[in-house]
Amino acid sequence: MNQQSIDVDPNITRTAVPISYSNRAVPSITFLMLSVITLGLWQSQISHRRELLVKHAETSAEHLKVRIEGIMNARIASLEMIADRWIERKPPDFSRERFMGFARATTEHYPGFAGIYWISPEGLVQWVYPEEENRPAAGCELGQHPDARFRAVLSQATAAGGPALTPCVELYQGGIGFFAFIPLVHEGGLQGYLGGVFKVEQLMDMSLPAAMSRDFTVALFEDDRRIFQNGSGWSPNAPPAALQAMNSIEFFGKSWELQIEPTYELSRPGSGGNLTFLAFGLGLSGLLSIALFSLLQRMDMYKETRDQAIQEAAERRKAVEALRKNEMKLQELLAELGVKNAELESFAYSVSHDLKTPVVTIEGFIGALRDDFGDALPETADRYLNHMSDATRKMELLINDLLDLSRIGRLNEVKIEFNFGDAALDALETLRPQIQERSIAAVVQEGLPSVYGERKRIGQVLDNLLSNAVKYIGATNPSPRIEIGCEERDGERVFFVRDNGIGIEEKYFDRIFQVFERLPPAVKIGEGTGMGLAIVKKVIESHGGRIWLESEPGRGTTFLFTLPGGDAKSHEV
């Protein structure tokens, strides 16, 4: 490649390009603007961290409120169960041994009690459990307690005929806590009180997760008096902190104020990461300003080229920034969805575990009692065990129905086309023993059409509707009859299950499809979980249909519903 030489005229004088006023002002203005932007971003980062911390505190306060209320509701309910069992026995047995048995079983299955007391009608503590820890309370006269509000609760419990909770006081065995009194009334006479003692610190130890105890200072207040705090250095008279979250805890007339405050402070301007970000931003602003100053010197001779380059760079930055913001937003949504799914899975697991485990445990102990003691059990004890077995089986059915209800529409099976009449005959075959026992005439209309859907779910609908029909056909019905068929109404194909049983009052038409709703006849019979018709409604609606009923007391009931036909599969996406 040939080199070309350039001759320079020696008479030409080289002069430096003067620095214009704009070359001095623009870098300074740029530095100020970038500094302001840096400060704004820095402040935005602090505000964002504060907002996240506040939301975390509020969510934690709500979780702790729900947990404390749930624990206390369960414990008070267990005391009420003891009280009911105590006075139901015939002939009555108000012995110390029976009290100790009840108290021992309750504290084993429902941890959280500081003690369970038997209290005389005059307010004298006669028996305590556990005896060693509660020995200082034995023989104390609660009616002579120095707190007037405490003494008034005994009268309130007697007047209300149900649980009454005292204000928090210093307990006889030490620590701050409260009493729950339940009056024991037998044949119109007050036999005494069943008292549950709860230490606030023990209750919070059960309720407060380790992570929350580490990250937050938690305090409880009752009537402006602090009854619990897990940290130190928090003055109750100090004004609420900017990151403090508060909530109210309510159970059985007792009201607590919950306050939680983060133990770490991310929003301080001088915190490590924030200060580094500020220093980096200001340093970068200075470097950019110096570079811009040098660039402006060079670009004075090439103004047009510079303007074009700046314009292109600005457009490119806008496009990149817009793309970055959009990407940060498909990521935030995905992260939020992941958190919600994880919370949902955790909740489903907790419900299944918390509900099924006690049922299995009770059933196991019932079996162990029968295996270990056999014929040594008296007839009354065997009858009680039968009642307990029936209750656990009913609870297990209830749990299974709840899980089944949650799966409908969420866990779908393959939809197929099948004959509705065949499904009806299968359902009747399952109920054949009950139908024959009651001499019920079961009629399936001939020539029933095909439907398109989940075969198992539609069979579940028929099972529930036919079971209800058999159950409420009436014990004295001279000619019980059930019909399954299909008819056309207003140009629409409508399936029906009809019986000539006891019928339903119109005021219950909407309620019977709700979860846990049971009609008075169902309560008397004592069968079912109250979710059968709720499951039926959800299955029908998940198939795009609807369900309703026609009935009159004493004249039978007809359940009517719609389902898609075989041509529906051609319209599915």
- What are the pLDDT digits (tens) for 215-239? 888 999 999 899 999 875 554 444 4
The residue assigned the tokens 């040594």 is: 376
CA 507 to chain centre: 31
pLDDT of res. 113: 92
Task: Of 172, 87, 89, 162, give the one whose Cα is nearest residue 128.
Answer: 172
Residue 303 near residue 56 (C-beta atoms within 8 A): no
pLDDT of res. 23: 63
pLDDT of res. 6: 36
Q: Hey, CA dihedral for 426, 431, 432, 435, is it positive or negative?
A: negative
- Which residues lie closer than 8 Å to 93 by C-beta, 6 or more apart? none
The residue assigned the tokens 């003692």 is: 197
Task: Of 298, 260, 352, 238, give the one whose Cα is nearest residue 68.
Answer: 260
Looking only at the bridges linking them, the beta strands covering 450-453 and 441-444 are unpaired
pLDDT of res. 409: 58
Triad 472, 477, 479: Cα angle to 5°: 115
Alpha carbon distance 203, 35 (integer Å): 52
Alpha carbon distance 243, 261 (integer Å): 6
Alpha carbon distance 471, 521 (integer Å): 10
Which tokens go with 152? 């008034």
- Which residues lie closer than 8 Å to 520 by C-beta, 6 or more apart? none
CA 103 to chain centre: 30
Which residues is 481 bridged to in the sheet?
A: 441
Alpha carbon distance 54, 270 (integer Å): 19
For residue 393, which amino acid is it?
Answer: R
Which residues is 416 bridged to in the sheet?
A: 453
- What are the pLDDT digits (tens) for 149-190? 998 888 888 787 789 999 999 999 899 999 999 998 888 788
The count of C-alpha atoms lying within 13 angstroms of the C-alpha of 550, restricted to the half-sphere facing its C-beta, is 7
Alpha carbon distance 384, 369 (integer Å): 12
For the chain, percent of residues with pLDDT exceeding 70: 77
pLDDT of res. 472: 87
Residue 154 near residue 193 (C-beta atoms within 8 A): yes
DSSP code at position 566 = G
Residue 280 near residue 45 (C-beta atoms within 8 A): no
**What Rg, from alpha-carbon coordinates, does the chain have?**
38
DSSP code at position 168 = P
pLDDT of res. 198: 94
Q: How many helices (H) and strands (E) does the chain have?
A: 13, 17
For residue 162, which amino acid is it?
Answer: G
Residue 499 near residue 482 (C-beta atoms within 8 A): yes
The CA distances from residue 82 to 79, 162, 183, 233, 556, in Å, are 5, 13, 11, 42, 42
Alpha carbon distance 317, 325 (integer Å): 12
Which tokens go with 323? 């793309």
Ordered per-residue pLDDT tens for the chain, 573 residues: 444 443 434 443 444 444 455 566 777 787 788 788 877 777 777 777 777 788 888 888 899 899 998 999 988 988 888 888 877 777 777 788 988 988 898 888 888 899 999 999 998 999 999 999 999 999 999 888 898 899 888 888 878 778 999 999 999 989 999 999 999 888 878 888 999 999 999 999 988 888 888 888 899 999 989 999 987 555 444 445 557 888 999 988 889 999 988 875 544 544 545 667 667 777 877 777 777 667 666 666 667 676 777 888 888 888 888 888 888 887 888 787 767 655 654 554 456 556 767 777 787 878 887 788 877 778 888 787 777 776 676 666 666 656 665 666 555 678 899 999 999 999 999 899 999 999 999 999 999 999 999 899 899 899 989 998 999 888 788 899 999 999 999 889 999 999 999 999 988 888 888 766 666 665 555 566 667 888 889 889 988 999 999 999 989 999 999 998 766 554 454
Phi-psi region of 224 (alpha: psi -120 to 50; beta: other; left: phi over 0): left
pLDDT of res. 7: 42
Q: Torsion angle, CA of 382/385/391/397, rounded to 10 degrees?
A: -100
End-to-end CA distance of the chain: 69
Alpha carbon distance 457, 463 (integer Å): 10
- DSSP helix/strand/coil, 238: coil
For residue 426, which amino acid is it?
Answer: D
Phi-psi region of 244 (alpha: psi -120 to 50; beta: other; left: phi over 0): beta
